[in-house]
A = this chain, B = another copy of it.
Amino acid sequence: MNPACELCRHDASRVLWRDDALRVELVDDADYPGFVRVIWNDHVREMTDLAPGDRERLMRAVFCAEAALRRVLTPHKVNLASLGNVTPHLHWHVIARYTNDAHFPQPIWGSRQRTCDSEVLAQRAAKLAELKVVLAHDLETTWAALSGQGR
C-alpha cells in the first residue's frame, strides 16, 4: 500500500469482480464504452516483479476481459496495454476498438481522429450491463476451474 498511489485506493462502485490478488473495473470514458481495467491489488511496478504464477493469474483475467468484450461488443480490435508511466502500479487496459471510434487507427493515447457519433456510442453503452454480467460470470467460472485444479 502506497498512500500516494491512486490505484492502492479503489472506488468499490466501479469494481465488477475482485479476489485477493486483483480486481476488474469498468472505466468511465465517454469515448470508450467497453474499456476495462484489470488492476493488481498490491503496489507492484512491473510484470516481472510478480512471480510467474501471479503473472499468469493476472493475464488470465486480462484474457477473460478480452473474451467478454469480444463476445458482448464485437469490436473491430481489442487493445491491451500495461503502461503505468503516471501510476506505476500494475494495471492493464483492455479496450474495445472500432474503426469509427475517436482515435482509430491510432491508440487511444494518440491524436484524435474524429468525434464518434453519439448514437453509436449510446448503442455501445447500452450493452455494458450485459458486459458486466458476462465478465463477472466468466471470471468466477475461470477462477472456480483453477481452484478445482489446486491453483
Measured CA separation A47–B65 after assembly (Å): 11
Number of copies: 2
Q: Which residues, 85 to 119 on A, are CB-close (under 8 Å) to B?
A: 85-86, 88, 97, 104-107, 109-111
Q: Which residues, 41 to 93 on A, are CB-close (under 8 Å) to B?
A: 45-48, 52, 55-56, 59, 62-63, 66-67, 70, 77-86, 88
User: Does the CB pair A107–B88 fall under 8 Å?
Assistant: no
User: Does the CB pair A48–B67 fall under 8 Å?
Assistant: yes
Measured CA separation A111–B106 after assembly (Å): 12
With beta carbons under 8 angstroms apart, the residue of B70, B79, B110 that contacts A110 is B110
User: Does the CB pair B83–A66 fall under 8 Å?
Assistant: no
Measured CA separation A34–B126 after assembly (Å): 42
Q: Which chain B residues lie closer than 8 Å to A77 at the CB level? A: 45-46, 83-85, 88
- Minimum C-beta distance from A40 to chain B (A): 14
